[in-house]
Amino acid sequence: MVIYTSLSPIFIYKTIPPTAIFSSIFIANFNTKPNPFMRYFYLLLPLILFINTLPAKAQNWSTPVNVSNMGKHCNAPRMIVDHNRTIHAVWSLMLTQQYRKIMYSKSETQGDTWTVPVAIADDSLQWFALPDIACDLQNRLYVAFEGDAMDPSNSLIYMVVNDGAQWGSPFIVSENFYGSMKTKVISDNTGRIYCFWDGWYANNSRIIYRFYENSVWSGIIIPYPIPQEYCFLTNLVVDRNNNLHCVGHHHLSNQGANYEDVNYFSYLKSSNQWSSFEVISDTLFQKFIYRDIDLDSSQVPHFVWRQNIHKIPSNDNATLSRYPNESGWLPVDSVEVNYNSYYHQFVIDNNNFSNISVSQWIDLPNNVHISYLKNYRQINNSWVAEIIDTIIGVFFEPNLIKLNNNEIGIIYYKGSAGNYSVADIYFSKYNIFTNIKPNELPAINMLITPNPFTTLTEITYTLSTQCQVLLDIFDINGKLITRLTDQTQSPGKYCIAWQGIGANAKEVSKGLYFVRLQAGCNVYTFKIAKQ
């Protein structure tokens, strides 16, 4: 069954047996006093009955598999694929407010089945959190994580290693750098293991790291010991020449979070040199968070980040992407706008298509959320979105990676509404060759002509099935200019004219705009220029 709601300019859908919804509503109200949450569902009931007659779209992502199956609060999952194509996953398990441990499971069936989870870091007096995992050339596993995370001023970075046969004992990597957090661990193509973290040094937050090579740990390295500046690492990737490409941010110590631009910086291994910071976010508003990076087939770095469209409210945001060519940085590309999106992940697959996953939700009364996990895929310079999973509850902290030449995979945790203390780890995957062929979009036959235009352009598209359609125009900063269509449309061909007029009845200025068509559970984004 498909559920739509018009509470916001996005749609929500979830595949659920209708009887499950109805029985949960009526049983709850028979045994308990009415509450705002149940009244909300009564209001939706006629809409549910109507939408249940509409066909649901088949999912290209695999049915999510429960990896943890623990019935407790699991979070912060991360995974890696070794050279034998085994998938290794780690996460944090909360037992009490002061007691968390790091769990591990693996899959030798490309994510279809998983081993029973085991604890690889367990201390009843510790809060172990936010693990990351890497694999070297011999398939040894390295898991770094925060210890003493309940007290950020005393937190340290720990590591535990699997030598191929068994897990060792956790040891401290960050030595006496108390206040260390947000660790990242990665291996280059020679087997060197890097362990990064954000730490406190000389009264400022710094990027700090060590590397492990030839069975020896290096000393502690601070690549940017710049006085009166804060430096943070969000994520990094390794190229074919073993150089590191990083995304993060930095600002002066007397500047607040509103100055957190998206910054690109890199490490050239051959010369052991770190580059300067390069700002790549050139848009108007700040709060550039949830950044990620990946390399295309030519080893060019691509970036994604979330950015506020307006300073207030803070959840009015856009997902933006950018990359350079031989002439410099290309304009910022708008992937999505006006969505409450979090936890952005970025992977460029072996077809050289960009994939961006985000977690999105809508707030309901009584601290209830309708959430969905979405993947945006760039084909023919357009962004097509597909739902991976949906729940009346929350999704958090997805981790998107390439599994092999044919598949990408995602691991995440989700919790049902009303009982967020129970949140298991789930896995899904997508075959990039069998589900969408290269350079092929789902058939909507969309055409915008003329483009560029001066006074009028026509947007033509064809629908193969009945669905809810939204047709919006956004500016380059992700601000909604006008909504041209918001209705359920039958199969057929449609033509919508736009005269370059905004919702304020004024003509828009010359420049680049984005046309976004949301048809059913697919979202298409096209560029248009007004001259």
Tell me which of 215-224, 231-240, 365-374 is least confident.
365-374
Query: Looking at residue 289, what is its pLDDT?
Result: 74
519 and 467 Cβ atoms separated by less than 8 Å: yes
Counting DSSP H helices and E strands in the chain, the numbers are: 2, 37
pLDDT surpasses 60 at 244:
yes
Q: Taking the CB of residue 50, how many other CB atoms lie within 10 A of it?
A: 11
Architecture of the CATH domain 447-530 = Sandwich (2.60)
Do the two domains 65-431 and 447-530 of this chain adopt the same fold? no
**What is the rounded distance in angstroms from the CA atom of residue 127 to the CA atom of residue 387?**
33
The pLDDT value given to residue 29: 35
Report the percentage of the chain scoring pLDDT > 90.
44
Arithmetic mean of pLDDT over the chain: 81
For the stretch 471-518, pLDDT in tens is 988 887 667 889 999 998 988 899 999 999 998 889 999 988 888 888
Banded pLDDT at 364 (limits 50, 70, 90): low
Q: What is the pLDDT of residues 156-192, one digit of tens each?
A: 999 999 999 999 999 999 998 988 999 999 999 999 9
Tens of pLDDT, residues 245-292:
999 987 776 665 556 788 999 999 999 999 999 988 865 555 667 899
Sorted by where each begins, the domain ranges of the chain are 1-56, 65-431, 447-530
Answer whether 294's CB lies under 8 Å from 347's CB: yes
pLDDT digits 0-9 by tens, 33-76:
444 434 444 444 433 333 333 333 335 789 999 999 998 999 99
- Give me the sign of the Cα torsion angle 402, 403, 409, 415: negative
Instruction: Give the type of residue at 66.
Output: N
Amino acid (one-letter) located at 507: E
Number of Cβ atoms within 10 Å of the Cβ of 332: 22
Bigger pLDDT: 11 vs 144:
144
Is the pTM of the predicted complex or chain greater than 0.85? no
CA distances from 207 to 199, 247, 258, 269, 294 (A): 6, 12, 20, 17, 20
Q: Among 201, 103, 97, which Cα is nearest to 151's?
A: 97
Distances, alpha carbon 344 to alpha carbons 144, 223, 313, 335, 374, in Å: 21, 26, 20, 11, 10
Nearest alpha-carbon partner for 345 in 290, 299, 391, 382: 290
Separation of alpha carbons 123 and 104, rounded Å: 15
Residue 282: per-residue pLDDT: 66
Residue 313 pLDDT > 60: no
Choice among 4-13, 134-143, 356-365 with the minimum mean pLDDT: 4-13
Q: Which CATH architecture has domain 65-431?
A: 6 Propeller (2.120)
Which residue has better confidence, 396 or 271? 271
Residue 408 has pLDDT above 70, yes or no: yes
Length of the chain as a residue count: 531
Lowest mean pLDDT among 26-35, 112-121, 361-370: 26-35
